[in-house]
Amino acid sequence: MADQVMQEQLMGARGDIGGQLQLMWELIKSPFAVALLRLGVYICLIMSLMFFIEKLYMGAVILLVKLFWKKPEQRYKWEPIPDDVEMGSSDFPRVIVQIPMCNEKEVYKISIGAACNLSWPADRLLIQVLDDSTDPAIKDMIKLECQEWACKGINIRYHMRNNRTGYKAGNLKEGSKQSYVKEYEYVAIFDADFRPEPDFLRRAIPFLMHNPSIALVQGRWRFVNADECLMTRMQEMSLDYHFTVEQEGGSSTHAFFGFNGTAGVWRMDAINEAGGWKDRTTVEDMDLAIRASLKGWKFVYLHDLQVKSELPSTFKAFRLQQHRWSCGPANLFRKVALEIIRNKNIKIWKKVHVIYSFFLVRRMVAHVVTFVFYCIVLPLTTLIPEVEVPLWGSIYIPAIVTALNCVGTPRSFYLLLFWVLFENAMSWHRTKATFTGLLETRRANEWVVTEKLGNALKNKNKPNTNKVAAKKNRFELVERMNFPELGFGVFLFVCGCFDFMNGKYGYYIYFFPQSIAFFIVGFGYIGIILP
Of the candidates 62, 54, 71, 403, the residue with the CA atom closest to the CA atom of residue 247 = 62
Q: Give one word for 166, left, alpha or beta, with left for phi > 0 and alpha for psi -120 to 50.
A: left
Query: In the chain, what is the greatest distance between 2 CA atoms, to the nearest angstrom?
Result: 105
Give how far the C-alpha of residue 255 lies from the chain's centroid of Cα atoms, to the nearest Å: 20
Amino acid identity at 81: I
* Active-site option among 132, 193, 279, 287: 132
91: annotated active-site residue: no
- Alpha-carbon distances, residue 460 vs 136, 316, 457, 491, 530 (angstroms): 30, 22, 6, 39, 12
Give how far the C-alpha of residue 479 lies from the chain's centroid of Cα atoms, to the nearest Å: 25
Rounded Cα distance, 167 and 279, in Å: 7
Q: What are phi and psi of 265, to 5 degrees?
A: -120, 130
Amino acid identity at 39: L
Rounded Cα distance, 144 and 153, in Å: 15
Rounded Cα distance, 413 and 240, in Å: 13
The gap between the terminal CA atoms of the chain, to the nearest Å, is: 67
Q: Give one word for 168, left, alpha or beta, with left for phi > 0 and alpha for psi -120 to 50.
A: alpha
* Active-site option among 131, 191, 279, 285: 285
140: annotated active-site residue: no
SS3 95: strand
Rg (CA), the chain: 26
Alpha helices in 68-193 (DSSP H): 72-75, 108-116, 136-151, 167-176
- Helix (H) or strand (E) holding 307, with range, is strand 298-309
Q: What are phi and psi of 170, to 5 degrees?
A: -65, -35
Kindly give the interhelix angle for 284-294 and 167-176, rounded to the nearest 10 degrees: 60
Q: Give one word for 296, left, alpha or beta, with left for phi > 0 and alpha for psi -120 to 50.
A: left
CB within 8 Å of 369: residues ≥ 6 apart: 44, 47, 48, 51
Rounded Cα distance, 126 and 146, in Å: 12
**Contact call for residues 261 and 168 (beta carbons, < 8 A):** yes
Amino acid identity at 57: Y
Beta bridge partners of 129: 99, 158
Kindly give the interhelix angle for 508-522 and 483-502, rounded to the nearest 10 degrees: 160
**Could you give the residue numbers annotated as active site?**
132, 285
